Amino acid sequence: MSTIHKVAAVQFEPTMFEKARNIARLLELCEQAAAAGAKLIVTPEMGTTGYCWFDRAEVAPFVESIPGPTTSRFAALARKHDCYIVVGMPEVDDENIYFNTAVLIGPDGIVGRHRKTHPYISEPKWAAAGDLHNQVFETPIGRIALLICMDIHFVETARLMALGGADVICHISNWLAERTPAPYWISRAFENGCYVIESNRWGLERTVQFSGGSCVIAPDGQVIAVLDKGDGVLLSEIDLDAARARRVLGEAVFAQRRPELYPELLTDTFSWNPRDFFGLYGHEPWPAGKTSQVSVAQFAPREDVDQNLSEIAALARKARAEGADLVVFPELAVTGLGNPARTTQPIPGPATDRLEELAAELGLYLVCGLAERAGDTLYNSACLVTPDGDISVYRKTHLIEDERSWATAGAGWTVVDTPVGRIGLLIGHDASFPEAGRVLALRGCDLIACPAAIKGRFSSSHAGTEVEQPKPIPTGLDPHHWHHLRVRAGENNLFFAFANVVDPKRGYPGLSGVFGPDTFAFPRREAIAAGGTGLATALVDTTNLDSIYPTNVVRRKDLVSMRMPHSYRGLVKVKNY
C-alpha cells in the first residue's frame, strides 16, 4: 500500500450571510482539488458561513446539525472522487448548543469531527468550548487529526494527537494578526514530527484582516507548499513514513519523553490570581520583579576548560559593560563538546569557583553549561551562579542518543528566584519537548535560561506577503520569521534566553536569542545574535503596576490560563514508541 498521498489545502474568502454562495464555492474548489488527484482536501474554519458573528441570534439561521444538508453535499463529492474532505462550519447539537466544528468526511460519509476546544475572543459570544478532545481518525490514507485555529496555540493539543498516532494534523483556521505560514503552525509540525495541512481564510471581514498563507508543512518543519493570497487550491504530497519516523533534528523524541516528569501538566496553576497563588501560605512567593538586561553569549567551546573559562569571562565582561544583569552561555560551555567525559567537573569545584569569582566581580548572574561529575555519575548540567556565590544546578532530563554513552539523565526540574525574576533552567534538547517548557511556566517562571548545543535547522525565513496588514504587523522579508525557541517563549508567556553553540563547520548554527513573552507583539521584544562569537541582549521586564492582579503578560500568562488540563491525561501515560 502506498504511503505517499496527494493532499490539498483550499484557501477561500467566505461572505457573511451568504451561506449558499459559500458552500457552492467550496464545493467548486474541492471538486478542482479532487479532479487533480487530491485524496485529502482541507477547507477553512467556518468556511460555510464566515466568522465574525456578534452573538447566537445572528448566527442562528446558519448553524446546522452534523450530519445534515451541508455534510451530505460534501459526502457526495467525497464518494464521487474516493477522497476525504475537512469542512469547517457552525454546528448545533440536539440540545441547541452551538460549536465551531471541523468535520472529516470520506467516501462512506462522516468519519469524525472536532469541536474547537479553545474559542478565540469573539466565539464565546455564540459558541461553547468543544467537548471532543484529541481524537485521531484511522483512514486508508493515514491517521488524521483535526484542530481549529486557536487550538494550535496550546502545545498539549497537537502533542496528544501525535501521541495518538496522527500522521497529519488538518488545521483549519481564520488566522490573523501576523503574516503566515505562522510560526506556531510550523513548530507544531516540527516538534511532533508530523505533517500539518493548514487551510486558512483570507480577506477582510468586519474590520478583521485575515492572513491567508494556507500551506503544507513537513515533519521537519519545512513549508513545502504555500498559497499566500486569494482563493485557490494548493496541492502537495505527504509521505506517511516520514511522519511515522517521529524524529526531531534526527532524534527519536517520542521514545525520549519523560512522562514521569510531566504530572504537573494536569494542573492549572493560573486558574486563580497568580499573585495570590504563588504567595500562598508564604511559601516560595514570586520575586517582586524588575526591568533587566539579559544577554545570551554564543561561541564554540573547546576541550580546554581554562580556555573556555577565559572566553566566558571575556564575554561576561562585555555583556556587563553593555548593561547586562544576567548572561546565559552555551551547553557544555565550560568543559567542551568533544569528549565531555574527559573534562568533567565537580560542583562545587575549581571551575565553578572561578564562575563564582567572576559573578561577584561583575555583580552578574551567570548560567553556564558543563559536564558534571558527582561521584561515579556524570551529568550534562547547567549551573546558575549568583553574585552572592550561590550555585543552583540543573541536570539535563532529555538526553540525545549520543549523550547516553556518558551521561545520566537528570531526575527533576530547577527553578531559582532572583531579582530578574523566577528563572527555570533547561538544556539544549530539553527544549525540543514542549512538556518541559510548560512545566516551568506552570511553576510561575518569568524566564527560561537554556544553554544549548543544537545542530540543524530550527529557524526559517519569510519572503514577505502580499496580504496587507495593519501597522505595526510586518509584511516584508524576515530572515528569522520562524524561530522555534521564539515559539517556546510565546506559548508559555515567558522570556526565553537561548544560548547556542556557534560552529557552522560542525553543524551548530548559533541563532542564539532572547525572546519575549508575546509572539504577536510587534515590533518583537527580542534580540537574535548575528553569526559567529558574540552576544544578543534584550530588555526583560517582570514588573507589575500597583495592583493585586498581574498586569504584565509574563506574570498573567493568558495562554497558560486558558489551558484545559482535564483533557491532558494522555501526556503522562507511559507508552513505548
My answer on whether omega of the bond before 140 falls inside 30° of 0, hence cis, is no
476 bridge partner residues = none
Q: Is the Cα torsion angle 400, 404, 406, 409 positive or negative in sign?
A: positive
Q: At 526, phi and psi to the nearest 5?
A: -160, 170
* Contact present, 217 and 507 (Cβ < 8 Å): no
Distances (CA, A) of 14 to 21, 135, 150: 8, 27, 19
SS3 of residue 411 by DSSP: coil
Alpha-carbon span 47 to 27, nearest angstrom: 11
Alpha-carbon span 555 to 561, nearest angstrom: 11
* Number of CB atoms found within 10 A of residue 132's CB: 16
Alpha-carbon span 39 to 104, nearest angstrom: 12
* Contact present, 325 and 294 (Cβ < 8 Å): yes
* Contact present, 169 and 188 (Cβ < 8 Å): yes
User: Which of 149, 194, 368, 450 does the annotation list as catalytic?
Assistant: 149
The residue count of the chain comes to: 577
Alpha-carbon span 202 to 210, nearest angstrom: 5
CA torsion, ordered 414, 419, 421, 424, to nearest 10 deg: -20
Q: Measured at the alpha carbon of residue 412, what is the angle toward residues 411 and 413, in degrees to the nearest 5?
A: 150
Helix H or strand E segment including 378:
strand 377-385
Closest by alpha carbon to 426, among 442, 410, 403?
A: 410
CA torsion, ordered 273, 276, 281, 283, to nearest 10 deg: 100
* Contact present, 103 and 60 (Cβ < 8 Å): no
295 bridge partner residues = 327, 537
The set of residues, in sequence order, having a beta carbon less than 8 Å from that of 538 and lying 6+ positions away, is 293, 294, 495, 513, 514, 515, 516, 525, 526, 527
Instruction: Please indicate whether residue 450 is annotated as part of the active site.
Output: no
User: Which of 6, 19, 116, 396 does the annotation list as catalytic?
Assistant: 116
Q: C-alpha cell of 21?
A: 454562495
User: Which of 45, 198, 356, 403 does the annotation list as catalytic?
Assistant: 45
SS3 of residue 554 by DSSP: helix
| Residue found under cell 525520549 | 256
User: Which residue intervals of 82-228 are DSSP H helices?
Assistant: 155-163, 183-192
* Number of CB atoms found within 10 A of residue 373's CB: 18
DSSP strands (E only) in 135-231: 137-139, 142-148, 168-173, 195-200, 202-205, 208-211, 214-217, 223-227
Instruction: Please indicate whether residue 13 is annotated as part of the active site.
Output: no
* Contact present, 150 and 559 (Cβ < 8 Å): no
Instruction: Please indicate whether residue 264 is annotated as part of the active site.
Output: no
Active site residues: 45, 116, 149
